Amino acid sequence: MEDTFSKIVSLCKRRGFVFPSSEIYGGFSSCYDFGPLGVEMKNNIKKLWWNEMTKKHDSIVGLDASILMSPLVWQASGHLTAGFADELVECKSCKKRFKLDDIKNGKCPECKGEIGAPRKFNLMMKTFIGPVEDEASTTYLRAETCQGIYMNFENVMRVMRLKLPFGIAQIGKAFRNEVTPRDFIFRMREFEQMEMQWFCNPKEADKYFEYFKEERLKWYADLGFSKKKLRTREVPADERAHYARKQIDIEYEFPFGFREIEGVHNRGDWDLSNHSKYSRHEMKYEGYYPYIIETSVGVERLLFALLSQAYTEVKGGRTETTESTKEQEIVLNLHKLVSPVKVAVFPLLKNKEELTKMAEETYRLVKPNFVSYYDETGSIGRRYRRADEIGVPYALTIDFDSLKNKDVTVRSRDTMKQERVPLSNIIEYLNKDLYNV
Ligand code: GAP
């Protein structure tokens, strides 16, 4: 399983999904950059989530709040206090921090120095606003995007003329000074969250909690996650986030075991009542504080789960007709709408001008509609493999019959079946297959 992990990491780098940040300086602090394929895939994930929330459901509208907010927000939310801190020990000589469990004989595991008493280390990332670096100018990069939603709960309700229950969806960056970032893009210091906050009457909170949990599980099933690799875990009180009355983690079986990909939380009146108290701005609705049901998932963590789910090795390859038969083949069986590239266009032969000319025309035709690339190097078998390795669902090949019939062969990644489609119909064909339109 660990082996699969390193193979996915290597594929991500080799094919341009994910690069370590600041690589020429040796990388930086669990930060990662998303390459040409990574950014397409992230955009696809975000679009699917956004459509699911705002188009499929009634009464869920969008928001894009700022990353920087008044530090009082974080005071009220509980993130600056014990609620959002890891308990760690620090080595008195090298100053490195460790979980208490990792310490043997009271010595630092790295330099054998003396270990200090356990302390809580806050995960908020501090920064300064304006030219003077003092207490008054200190603020924080947001640790969860939903606080911006709470700040705008009343604005949104008013301008959209909403009544409870309703929801606000948001996608954006969040930052955490994670003490033990690890497992590639699973736990990072800078990441993106997709969060939906559902405001409702406390009496209906349990009902909506169940409803959104089921909705989220359906969404994962639609994305192609196998039932066996997905599970839910009700988080016991002593492990729950400080704001949660009830918490269910949706977990996926990564190559390193089952881990959380999404949290569904009943936050009760924690946020609106605390913000009312700290700001002295009352946010009650019809005499009560609405309860909040939250669904929260990280874009990169989901991307990693999708890659893990899709990564398939076929010993000896799937093709029986080409010279590359004996090699191992990698196929990313990604959901077609998640795949970063939708179409690859190949002339059967590189040195036949009629073929390359028509292939280029085909590429020009599909490119404005679907993320596509043109490839004329190597045998056709190799080109299919390069496409399969990044999950391209459709490969269009132009052969000698194409010249006569003005058509292309569409080869499906999943079935490897080939179908001849008139060039004049290709956009319609792909739209129908991808979006059913
Ligand atoms: N507003 C609720 C909240 O932030 P959370 O369980 O702390 O809840 C929600 O985070 C999701 O955000 C997680 O399930 C995970 O997908 C993602 N996430 C959290 N911390 C992360 C990190 N350090 N790196 C990548 N993703 C992270």
- Cα distance between residue 276 and residue 284, in whole Å: 8
Is 262's C-beta closer than 6 angstroms to any atom of ligand 1?
Answer: yes
User: Any bridge partners for residue 394, and if so which?
Assistant: 343, 412
Atom of ligand 1 nearest to the CA of 302: 16
pLDDT of 152 reads 98
- Nearest alpha carbon to residue 169 among 77, 59, 303: 59
* 98 pLDDT higher than 90: no
* 83 pLDDT higher than 80: no
pLDDT tens, 207-248?
999 999 999 999 999 999 999 999 999 999 999 999 999 999
Q: Is 406 helix (H, G, I), strand (E, B) or coil?
A: coil
* 437 pLDDT higher than 80: no
Mean pLDDT within 33-42: 98
Is 170's C-beta closer than 6 angstroms to any atom of ligand 1?
Answer: no
* 90 pLDDT higher than 60: yes
Tokens representing 132? 């003077």
Q: List the Cα angle 163/154/278 in 5-degree steps.
A: 135
Is 268's C-beta closer than 6 angstroms to any atom of ligand 1?
Answer: no
* 177 pLDDT higher than 80: yes
- Cα distance between residue 206 and residue 214, in whole Å: 12
* Burial of 418 (C-beta count, 10 Å sphere; 0-12/13-18/19+): exposed
pLDDT of 100 reads 81
Mean pLDDT rounded to a whole number for the chain = 94
Banded model confidence at residue 429, pLDDT cuts 50, 70, 90: very high
* 277 pLDDT higher than 70: yes
Atom of ligand 1 nearest to the CA of 195: 1
How many helices (H) and strands (E) the chain has is answered by: 12, 21
pLDDT tens, 285-342?
999 999 999 999 999 999 999 999 999 999 877 766 655 556 789 999 999 999 999 9
Nearest CA to ligand 1 atom 12: 298
Tokens representing 119? 């302390």
Best residue among 125, 187, 301, 302 to mutate for probing ligand 1's pocket (most ligand atoms within 8 Å of CB) is 301
Q: Provide the whole-model pTM.
A: 0.94
* 82 pLDDT higher than 70: no
Q: How many residues does the chain have?
A: 437
Nearest CA to ligand 1 atom 25: 187
* 205 pLDDT higher than 90: yes
